[in-house]
């Protein structure tokens, strides 16, 4: 079991100012902090820090928004780790975006009631687009986020186990008339690899949809990646494994 490292042995860190919003990620299996590689559940690393402990650390350094993903729920028909969501929502003031298992009206209500501020909808957007369109109109684009996980140009669903024929552009075009405002796009080939994100993909999407917030997810390896995304005028970036593996320290995030 790997221990989360907050690298204090890095060279001196200069103060910086970023317009891009850094959103730390916590992925959950059996209530524990884990990270996958390329979305493969068999390539799982579990970390010592508890989800609540990590959330409190992020809050202490000034983070405002947290990306919380129920990987158990993503493979099933409903969320499986709502107790973790409720604990973090009760013990912190973080703005929590929750994903995994939101496939019914009941699951959606349960996640909101447990303390989620935003819900990430992926599989339903592909398999039941009329339902997601209704949810967008009912709850608004400021509370529901389209989650589009891309593999070889196609959107994957059900915890990345199944690949659809949809492209991310076709999904976005389907839901913008219904009030869509935010899209989390994950390049599965980059996720957990610590080799840098798909810069061209995100630049292309943000240019094509300037009215939307395209949220970068997958592949962040160091602060240099975030600086480059900031220079490209991307607005939000999710960072997970790079923090747990000590590639990006909490102090670096605090200073930026």
Residues designated catalytic: 27, 149
H or E element that contains 68 = strand 65-70
Cα 164 from chain centroid (whole Å): 20
Distance (Å, rounded) from C-alpha 144 to C-alpha 138? 10
> How many CB atoms are located within 10 Å of the residue 1 CB?
7
Closest by Cα among 156, 216, 145, 206 to 180: 145
Q: Which residue has the tokens 């592909």?
A: 126
> How many CB atoms are located within 10 Å of the residue 178 CB?
16
């Amino acid at each position: 079991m790997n221990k989360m490292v907050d690298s204090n042995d890095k060279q001196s860190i200069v103060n910086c100012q970023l317009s891009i919003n850094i959103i730390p990620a916590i992925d959950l299996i059996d209530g524990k902090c884990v990270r996958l590689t390329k979305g493969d559940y068999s390539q799982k690393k579990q970390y010592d820090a508890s989800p609540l402990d990590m959330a409190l650390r992020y809050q202490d350094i000034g983070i405002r928004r947290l990306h919380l993903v129920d990987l158990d729920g993503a493979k099933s028909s409903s969320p499986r780790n709502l107790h973790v969501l409720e604990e973090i929502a009760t013990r912190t003031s973080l703005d929590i975006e929750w994903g995994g298992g939101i496939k019914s009206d009941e699951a959606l209500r349960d996640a909101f009631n447990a303390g989620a501020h935003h819900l990430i909808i992926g599989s339903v957007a592909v398999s039941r687009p009329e339902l997601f369109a209704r949810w967008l109109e009912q709850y608004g684009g400021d509370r529901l986020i389209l989650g589009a996980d891309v593999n070889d140009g196609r959107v994957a669903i059900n915890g990345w186990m199944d690949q659809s024929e949809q492209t991310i552009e076709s999904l976005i075009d389907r839901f913008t008339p219904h009030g869509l405002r935010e899209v989390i796009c994950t390049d599965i080939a980059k996720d957990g690899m610590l080799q840098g994100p798909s810069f061209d993909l995100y630049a292309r999407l943000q240019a094509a949809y300037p009215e939307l917030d395209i949220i970068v997810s997958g592949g962040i390896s160091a602060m240099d990646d975030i600086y480059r995304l900031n220079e490209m005028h991307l607005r939000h970036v999710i960072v997970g494994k790079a923090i747990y593996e000590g590639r990006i320290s909490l102090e670096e995030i605090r200073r930026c």
